[in-house]
Amino acid sequence: MSISSYLKKGFLFLVYTLIIFFVMLLGSVTGLFIQIKRQLPDLSILKEYEPSLITRVYDSNGQSLAHFCLEKRILVPYVSFPSHMIQAVIAVEDARFYKHNGLDWGGISRAAIRNIRHKGFMEGGSTITQQLTRSLLLHSEKTIIRKLKEALLALEVEKLYSKDKILELYLNQIYFGNGAYGIESAARTFFGVHAEDLGLTQSALLAGLPKAPNLYNPTRHPDRALSRRNYVLKRMLEEGYIDYNQYQSSINTSIDLSKNKDQSAQAPYFVEYIRSYLEGKYGATMLYRGGLKVYTTLDPDLQKYAEDALKCGLEELDKRQGFRNIQDIKGKSENPKGGNYEDIERELIACIETGILPKNRILGEVVDVSSSQALILMYGTGIKGILGIDDASWTGTKSLESIIKPADKIYVRILERLKDPDNKAETLFRLAMDQVPEVQGAILAIDPHTGHIKAMAGGYDFETSKFNRAVQAKRQPGSAFKPFIYTTALKQGYTLADIFIDSPIIYQDDEQEKDWKPVNYYQKFYGPTTLREALEKSRNVITIKVLKKAGIDASVETAKDMGIVSPLSADLSLALGSSGVSLLELTSAYGVFATGGIKTMPVAILKIEGPDGRILEEHHPHPERAIDEQTAYLMTQALRGVIDHGTGWKAKALARPLAGKTGTTNNYIDAWFIGFSPDIVAGVWIGFDEYKSLGDMETGSKAASPVWVNFMKGYLDGKTVKDFPIPPGIEFVSIDRKTGLLATGECNDILLEAFRDGTAPKKLCKAHQITSAHFVQMDMELSKDTRMVDAQDIQINFPERKARSSD
């Protein structure tokens, strides 16, 4: 056989092989195509589509507290879309939208090349139609099968619906962030307007969000959002939708977002705390579309007591800081709370008809003013009121003319309805001068036996600031940290009757090249002092000596064991609360005293159910021993003394077994009060976000404890008196309060003190014979190395040290 014959046969074999291969390939592709087409969802879903399930949150009574329905969109027709909104979306998402039949082969080719270069799915080249089908009908997993289904569905959708209808479905479906699904919801959420009223720059910003709503979220990442918006404007310029002058003008326009009222009016800081947890663990899709049922620990009654107490305390403190003219406060909104003047006018009219006074602060405009009174027009309404100087007494002014003038804006509250003496037909109201506090605060209440968070308020007004100071802020606790130092000493065998000398001490600081001379709050030293009195009166110097004797590492370990999770400075400044902690961890740690030494970590959620009723997670208390019960009881007794005889004296008015501790930092920057009963532990922090002084003498006792007292008043109302249980191993002995020795008939200040069995003093008090020299000798025996004031004193470094003020 000739070579040509062999070549001919070889060629024919190759041809037949290729034909068979292509037939098989065509058959496989056809089979795959048929299989995929059979798996395609019914397009009638587009007509029958309804919003996803709502996640609901319940309080501890099983009552509805909040809901997350972020996909409960507001449907609007195509005619409601501004032309520049449509142009912006097309320019940035699918420039050939009106030219293709559902698939943009050029875009697919470019995306394929990029994916090959990056060896993965980096870009999909999806058209608007493909994005719609993926969002409504498919999952978002990046696989070849899903892309094929998406392409086939897109072709079918384009056959069934017009381009305008596809855009309508798309703009009503996609997620824009902040819970806004669909363009109408997004327009209201971000700008407080209807979709049809969106401007060019607003439309460009919204059009840029669907690609990555969290990444470009203008609330959280304004710089990224601005950059993305300007990119959309650039694409609109390139596509010829806007001219160069419009482009230049638009990119120089700042983002002006709406400050809409949060949907959750109840316990907003707590609800946001829950929302953040759910989104972090389950993701936004499950949170906003999964129909979860979330059962929380919140007690609605305690929550109201907490919010009311905090607001009242902050308003009283703010008034002590003086009157601030609204006109002098740049960048502050002049709208009343809620910003809806029509609602306020309706309230005022209803008040005229029913006599029920509005409780909200109202913005007013000064119409006329004299030294003794002013005529005020309720802003945005036609209703007037009279402000007398007596109802502005907190400002300290002797003449209203000295602080306000006609046309000024001021905040007022309505006290009662009056009659205009000159016109009996016109209704007037008696008004009181008011203002919006700048100072902030937080309050938290926990059941120490279960760890259940019963109440939480993280600021004065959630609408103004969503920063949750109860859990997110880390502030220096000042003297509120001292109980952990004394707890460590009691664990080691010290007693509340032990004497330390309150005397000057000097510590050399090599880093700062100067000496540290800690002092007490009143710049005085008090000589021989029991540990009980040192804690009750919050004495700084003795606390430092106690820390030095008990040990820094041991004290840090005690605080950690009790629930402090923040980093703590390993130096003597720890005694004065130099390390920042959150209100949540500090309040929870104090709960260990109330439970006899048992720690139960704080929890806000009882259980979470899926839409089918299946329990996804459930939380039960997991108590563990942090300190022994005798130490816990001794510290509780000492902290009761803080209320009975010390800086927490305001709580005595409650006439219940209560314990707690105040805290104040240098220059009155932070004010604290953490206290507890046998069944509840509550903490209060007061301060400015920007670390400035609260004002002279605004201590934890003055600024924070009234909030705590008001909260506890509501909590204790109607409850039977309950005392702290006495554990085994505790004995009570009568001692002289000053010397700490066994009391005799000659002692005139006797205290029935608690001791661990076998640790009570053995010597009788002979105060009339004891001189200060004896006490100095006693202190030297107890703590020789803590009293020295010369160069032989221990050298120690203080990386962040500033002596905390005590109160």
Q: Which residues are the active-site residues?
A: 93, 479
Q: Are strands 427-434 and 384-388 parallel, antiparallel or unpaired?
A: parallel
Nearest to 166 by CA among 131, 116, 139: 131
Q: Per DSSP, what are the bridge partners of residue 293?
A: 56, 609
| Nearest-angstrom CA–CA distance, 787 and 795 | 14
Those residues whose C-beta lies under 8 Å from the C-beta of residue 389, and which sit 6 or more positions away, are 371, 372, 373, 397, 398, 399, 400
Q: Token match 């923040």: residue?
A: 566
Residue type, position 196, single letter: E
Those residues whose C-beta lies under 8 Å from the C-beta of residue 169, and which sit 6 or more positions away, are 46, 132, 136, 161
Q: Cα separations (Å) of 770 from 224, 744, 752, 762? A: 73, 14, 22, 16
Nearest to 283 by CA among 569, 55, 443, 112: 55
Q: Per DSSP, what are the bridge partners of residue 386?
A: 375, 430
Q: Cα separations (Å) of 514 from 498, 508, 790, 797, 798? A: 32, 6, 14, 11, 11
Asked if residue 543 lies in contact with residue 482, where contact means CB atoms within 8 angstroms, the answer is: yes
Burial class of residue 623, CB neighbours in 10 A (0-12, 13-18, 19+): middle
**Tokens standing for 782?**
């107890």
Asked if residue 609 lies in contact with residue 615, where contact means CB atoms within 8 angstroms, the answer is: yes
Nearest to 604 by CA among 55, 65, 53, 54: 65
C-alpha torsion 13→17→23→26, nearest 10: -140
Give the chain's radius of gyration (CA, Å): 35
End-to-end CA distance of the chain: 114
Q: What is the 3-class SS of 380-415, one letter each residue?
A: CCCCEEEEEHHHHHHHCCCCHHHCCCCCCEEEEEEE
**Tokens standing for 451?**
């760890």
| Nearest-angstrom CA–CA distance, 449 and 594 | 8
**Tokens standing for 28?**
């496989």
Angle CA 676–678–682, to nearest 5: 25
| Nearest-angstrom CA–CA distance, 515 and 68 | 56
Backbone angles phi, psi at 405, to 5 degrees: -145, 165
Backbone angles phi, psi at 582, to 5 degrees: -90, 155
Q: Report how far Cα 741 is from the mean position of its chain's Cα atoms.
A: 48
Residue type, position 730, single letter: I
DSSP state of 479: G
Burial class of residue 202, CB neighbours in 10 A (0-12, 13-18, 19+): buried
Nearest to 200 by CA among 115, 343, 87, 108: 87
Nearest to 666 by CA among 807, 548, 508, 544: 807
Asked if residue 52 lies in contact with residue 175, where contact means CB atoms within 8 angstroms, the answer is: no
